[in-house]
């Protein structure tokens, strides 16, 4: 009886563990020149977890994003204070962070999300590892691994960097709401 109880407990614990987590999205390291244009935007970002039980949405963040052939540059401001600057030249990612910025904010993930949202599809597809696909469907970009949707970016305007976009990252459990306008 004791063995049966122990076996039942082991099976219960194994069932609670569930399937192993899927790997995160692939890292991208596309050069700024592969964007193929120059871009200067002001943006308002709101981020939050996919599951409301995992926390609340963060306060909005004002961003200035610039892309040219040499660099991607981003400055993030919260309540008028600069909390993040980053630059990516295709080889080196440099950043300065405020101590107020949560540790969960990952600069490489920011660059990857910008590239997934705005870079030309052929450049992105060429950079994806085996098993990953990126398609455009009815105003949305959908990144899949082995047919399973991992990330969706819905754009309400064309080109994608004008107007409103929603990025839903199912794999890493967050959502971004992005409102963009040209910097003047």
Q: What is the pLDDT of residues 13-55, one digit of tens each?
A: 333 344 345 568 999 999 999 999 999 999 999 999 987 776 6
d(CA 139, CA 155): 6
In the chain, the number of structural domains is 1
Tell me: the pLDDT tens digits for 120-167?
Answer: 999 999 999 999 999 999 889 999 999 999 999 999 999 999 999 999
* Residue 63 located in a structural domain: yes
The mean pLDDT of 101-116, rounded to a whole number, is 93
* CATH number where 132 lies: 2.50.20
Q: Is the pLDDT of residue 6 over 50?
A: no
* Residue 85 located in a structural domain: yes
* Residue 50 located in a structural domain: yes
For residue 51, the model assigns a pLDDT of 77
Beta pairing partners, 181: 42
Q: Residues 131-136: contacts with CB within 8 Å, 24+ apart?
A: 132/26
Does the pTM exceed 0.95?
no
* Residue 170 located in a structural domain: yes
Q: Which two tokens stand for residue 110?
A: 């920011």
In the chain, % of residues over pLDDT 90: 73
Domain that holds residue 77: 37-182
């Amino acid at each position: 009886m004791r063995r049966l109880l122990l076996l039942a407990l082991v099976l219960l614990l194994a069932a609670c563990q569930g399937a192993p987590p899927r790997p995160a999205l692939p890292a991208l390291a596309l050069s700024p020149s592969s964007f193929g244009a120059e871009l200067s935007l002001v943006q308002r970002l709101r981020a939050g977890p996919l599951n409301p039980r995992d926390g609340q949405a963060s306060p909005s963040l004002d961003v200035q994003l610039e892309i040219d052939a040499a660099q991607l540059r981003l400055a993030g401001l919260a309540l008028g204070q600069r909390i993040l600057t980053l630059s990516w030249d295709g080889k080196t990612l440099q950043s300065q962070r405020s101590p107020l910025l949560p540790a969960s904010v990952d600069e490489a993930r920011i660059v990857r999300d910008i590239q997934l949202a705005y870079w030309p599809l052929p450049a992105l597809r060429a950079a994806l590892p085996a098993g990953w696909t990126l398609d455009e469907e009815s105003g949305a970009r959908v990144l899949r691994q082995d047919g399973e949707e991992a990330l969706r970016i819905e754009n309400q305007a064309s080109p994608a960097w004008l107007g409103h976009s929603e990025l839903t990252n199912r794999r890493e459990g967050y959502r971004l709401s992005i409102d963009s306008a040209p910097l003047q």
